Copies of this chain bind each other. A is one copy, B any other.
Amino acid sequence: MTYKEPIFDVAQLSHVEIFSPRMDESLHFFKNLLGLSETERDGNSVYLRAYEDFYHHSLKLTYRETPGLGHVGWRSSSPQALERRVQSLEASGLGKGWIEGDRGYGKAYEFVTPDGHPQRILWDVEYYQAPEDQKTKLLSRPQRRPTRGVPVRRLDHVNLLASDVTKNKQFFIDHLGFNLREHIELDDGREGGAWLSVSPLVHEIAFLGDRTGKGNRLHHIAFWYGYPQHLADISDIFVEEGIRIEAGPGKHGVSQAMFLYVFEPGGNRVELFGDAGYLIFDPAWKPLKWTQDQIEEAIIWFGSPLPNEYFIYGTPHDTPPYQAGK
């Protein structure tokens, strides 16, 4: 029997669009506290990036009455890889067709997850060029490290609430070449969560079972610090600013991430990732399966527990969005 070779057609999570009903407060949060820079504005949208994000933007923040996910953007590993993935997506029945692109990137192919979460895949991107006074001698940094807030370094991953984890997970494996890294098996046999990646990161995308049954919602987006101290630093500032921390700092068993969960003022959950977790280089990685009796360690290896709300709240949601202030 022939060994099934891995697919390397998706290279990375390139950007995410989220909706906020409170643009000014959300922008204060992302720019002054997390140190994101604004690249451009267009209509109801503001394009933002962290200081080690190389492209035009990694976060598009768009005004809408209800918070939630706009779309997730993926970059292929070559133009040919994009064509191959589009063929597969079209065959899946979940493809939506080509669009002309957006600020910061060219033509993109739209599709949805089985749950309906909007996605785009693309090849052409525009690289960010820093203005003169933001140029740095550090070649691997597209701009200087900001002196505002506790600046995050790059977009890390996205986590989506799904009505059926297995279906959504399998779609990413089959049609986009993702690898399942870790998952949770509940006592009733259903998958409670699945973490998938195309790189040594444990996940660029995860699906969590939506206990409300709704699905097609955003659980959180995550930005990366890489240094645990920064989770303490930004926590200190969040408390003083009245930004609600949901959980953390702590360490997950899944992914070994040093985490902090917080609600941006628009109501979306944001994770801040304080280290590199562990990285997967084994090409024949066998997915780690956490069973229900191991779930405690899976969720929290040590530190702050997750409140029940963590497993229920996503955006959009039925209850009023979280306010600035505890």
> A: which residues have CB within 8 A of B?
2-3, 5-6, 8, 11-13, 32-33, 52, 54, 75-81, 136-141, 144-145, 147-149, 153, 182, 199-202, 226-230, 232, 235-240, 245, 248-251, 253, 255-256, 258, 275-276, 278-279, 281-283, 288-290, 294, 297-298, 301-305
One complex includes copies of this chain to the number of 4
Whether A303 contacts B302 by the Cβ 8 Å rule is no
**Residues on the B chain within 8 Å of A2, using CB:** 80
Provide the bound-state CA to CA distance between A239 and B139, in Å. 13
User: For residue A137, which residues in chain B have a CB less than 8 angstroms away from its CB?
Assistant: 239-240, 253, 294, 297
Chain B residues lying within 8 Å of A182, measured Cβ to Cβ, are 139-140
21 contacts between A and B (CB under 8 A): A2-B80, A3-B79, A8-B8, A33-B147, A75-B283, A137-B239, A138-B240, A138-B301, A140-B278, A141-B256, A145-B236, A226-B276, A229-B230, A232-B251, A232-B302, A235-B302, A238-B302, A249-B249, A275-B276, A303-B303, A305-B305
Residue of B nearest to A139 (CB): B288
Q: A200-B199, A288-B140, A303-B235 are in contact. Are A282 and B12 (CB under 8 A)?
A: yes
Top 7 closest pairs, chain A to chain B, by CB: A229-B229, A12-B281, A276-B276, A11-B283, A235-B302, A139-B288, A304-B304
A145 touching B240 by the CB < 8 A rule? yes
User: Judging by beta carbons under 8 Å apart, are A278 and B32 in contact?
Assistant: no
Nearest chain B CB to A278's CB is how many angstroms away?
5
**CA A156 – CA B258 in complex, angstroms?**
21
Contact (Cβ within 8 A) B153 A278: yes
- By the criterion CB–CB under 8 Å, are B11 and A136 in contact? no
Contact yes or no, A304 B305, CB < 8 A: yes
* Contact residues in B for A149 (Cβ distance below 8 Å): 147
CA A253 to CA B239, docked complex, whole Å: 11
A215 to chain B, nearest CB (A): 27
Query: Of B200, B227, B248, which is within 8 A of A275 by CB?
Result: B227
Closest Cβ neighbor of A255 among chain B residues? B140
Additional A-B contacts beyond A52-B278, A137-B239, A140-B202 (20; CB < 8 A): A6-B78, A12-B283, A33-B147, A54-B282, A75-B283, A77-B283, A137-B294, A138-B239, A139-B182, A140-B253, A140-B255, A147-B148, A153-B278, A229-B229, A235-B302, A235-B303, A236-B302, A248-B303, A249-B303, A275-B276
